[in-house]
Amino acid sequence: MMTKPGRFIVVEGLEGAGKSSAIATIRRWLQQRQLTVVCTREPGGTPLAEKLRTLVKQVDNTEILAPQTELLLMYAARVQLLSNVIRPALSRGDWVLADRHDMSSRAYQGGGRQLDEQLINNLRSTVLGNTRPDLTLYLDIDPAVGLSRAAARGELDRIEQEQLTFFVRTRQKYRQIAATEPDIITIDASQPLAQVQQAITEALQSHFAGHSDD
């Protein structure tokens, strides 16, 4: 019997957008349908990629991380995760639920850091190949609101310490991508949690209607 390929769902958004709560909602929804779910986070998700995560998040006062280095580290971590976790899971027929993926690099390094789009696109085609998300839920939040939620949790990491204008550019890029790509659904993450959860459930229902029959 042929195994049905799994599906790939990504949750995206600025810091404090509510990605962790969204992941919990989606995970419940999938498990209620007896689907096997593999959760990932980026950068990270394999032993090596987790080491790269530490490098990009830690505040290091001895050497400034060049924007291009940051970009390459994100894609290095992504190659590891795709090869060792995401692709094997999808071929087993599992569903992959990702806390950030490629859209983060396009928004943060492309929008926030203003790195060359052609450079990013070259990396994308090399690293991603044909593995693309079936659905991306982009949680849209005003950066000031998101950052204040993140700050309430404690110390800010290296990227969270950027100026507000960096996050304004990142959000602009997120919104620009979301407006042009059909498999990305934008959710207003400034709403109360219950309404955000409701919007997420509706998006899953409409996108994967009848998935168990296909």
Residues that bind ligand T5A (CB under 6 A): 13, 15-21, 41-43, 74, 100, 104-105, 108-109, 149-150, 153, 159-160, 189, 192-193, 196
Residue pair 170/141 in contact (Cβ under 8 Å)? The answer is no
Least distance (Å) from ligand T5A to the CB of residue 124? 11
Close Cβ partners of 151 (under 8 Å, ≥ 6 residues apart): 160
Comparing CB distances to ligand T5A, the nearer of 19 and 171 is 19
Residue 154's Cβ-count burial label (10 Å; 0-12, 13-18, 19+) is exposed
Comparing CB distances to ligand T5A, the nearer of 29 and 108 is 108
Least distance (Å) from ligand T5A to the CB of residue 24? 9
Comparing CB distances to ligand T5A, the nearer of 119 and 150 is 150
Least distance (Å) from ligand T5A to the CB of residue 179? 20
**185 bridge partner residues:** 137
End-to-end Cα, the chain, rounded Å:
15
Least distance (Å) from ligand T5A to the CB of residue 211? 26
Comparing CB distances to ligand T5A, the nearer of 80 and 104 is 104
Least distance (Å) from ligand T5A to the CB of residue 61? 19
Ranked by CB distance to ligand T5A, the top (closest) residue is 18
Least distance (Å) from ligand T5A to the CB of residue 82? 12
Residue 101 DSSP SS3: coil
Residue pair 86/30 in contact (Cβ under 8 Å)? The answer is no
Comparing CB distances to ligand T5A, the nearer of 17 and 97 is 17
Q: What's the CA gap between 139 and 119, in Å, rounded?
A: 26
Q: What's the CA gap between 50 and 74, in Å, rounded?
A: 11
Comparing CB distances to ligand T5A, the nearer of 7 and 41 is 41
Q: Give residue for tokens 């709560």.
A: 21
User: Backbone dihedral region of 71: left (phi > 0), alpha (psi from -120 to 50 degrees) or beta?
Assistant: alpha
